[in-house]
Structure 1
Amino acid sequence: MTVATAFAETTKYTLSQPEMRIRVLNLYRRYLRHSRDFVNSYDLDIPASQVKTKIRQEFERQRFVKDLPVQNVLFMKAQMEFQELVNFWKQQCHVMQYFENPHTYYDKTKNDTFVDKFLKGSD
């Protein structure tokens, strides 16, 4: 059983870059600590090391955002995502979307068979 408020964090607007850096690093560490739990809870067919790599990629993708209001919004979205993952409020298919290569689904130059298109959900 999960307690919905166990990992909840009140919305707090950070006013300085050093404080934001500390908050982001703490959230990143929490994600990494729970990566094995994500694999076990969602019965993922990927190793925890790959989950950790994906977590790192997602944080690195936003690394060079310098606008503090934007950083605040990104932090709160990441915090909400963490709470949803830990409390098992997502389904396995939602978690696996992070590990799919988006280019494989939108490559229009490749001539797919009917079955390939059907499995991808495209017309």
Structure 2
Amino acid sequence: MTRPTAFSEVTKFCKSPSELRIRTLNLYRRYLRHSRDFVNNYNLDIPASQVKTKIRQEFERHRFINDLSVQNVLYMKSQMEFQELVNFWKQECHVMKYFETIENYDKTHNSSFIEKFIKGAD
């Protein structure tokens, strides 16, 4: 059983880029360590290596943001996302949204409301 507070973290504004970098790298490592748990808990049909690749892509996407306040907000959001994933507060469709491709978007975009609702798409 996972306690909700086990992976919680106090929301703290980092005043230096080096402090935020250390916290971000630690969070990235936690994501990687739990990647196999994400696959098992959410019954994903993808290998853990693909989950790790996606985690890397998400962190790399925001790598060159230089504004410290924006970096802090992104860190806090990713920390909340991590806690939701680890505590199993999400459903499989929420996790699979990260692995949607453009082709899948086009298919769900043109489908009926009921089909989208069943698949968990917007």
- Calculate the TM-score normalised by the size of structure 2: 0.87
Distance 1:7 1:64 in 2: 27
Size of the aligned set, in residue pairs, is 115
> Is residue 92 from structure 1 mapped to residue 92 from structure 2 by the alignment?
yes
Where in structure 1 are there 5+ consecutive unaligned residues? Answer: none
Residue 117 of structure 1 aligns with which residue? 111
TM superposition score normalised by structure 1: 0.86
User: Is the radius of gyration larger for structure 1 or structure 2?
Assistant: 1
Say if 2:36 is the partner of 1:42: no
Shift >4 Å, 4+ stretches: 119-122
Structure 2 residues not aligned, in runs of 5+: none
**Which residue number in structure 2 is paired with residue 18 of structure 1?**
18
- Does structure 1 residue 77 correspond to structure 2 residue 71? no
Distance in structure 1 (CA, Å) of the matches to 2:40 and 2:65: 32
Q: How does 1:96-107 map to 2 (within 5 A)?
A: 96-102=96-102, 104-106=104-106
Measure, in 1, the Cα distance between the counterparts of 2:4 and 2:105. Answer: 35
Q: Deviations over 1:87-122 (max 9, x none)?
A: 000001100000001454248xxxx9xxx7244579
Going from structure 1 to structure 2, the CA distance change for 1:104 and 1:42 (only over 3 Å counts) comes to: closer
CA RMSD of aligned residues (A): 2.0
Work out the CA distance in 2 between the residues paired with 1:26 and 1:6. Answer: 16
State, as a whole percentage, how many aligned pairs show the same letter: 71
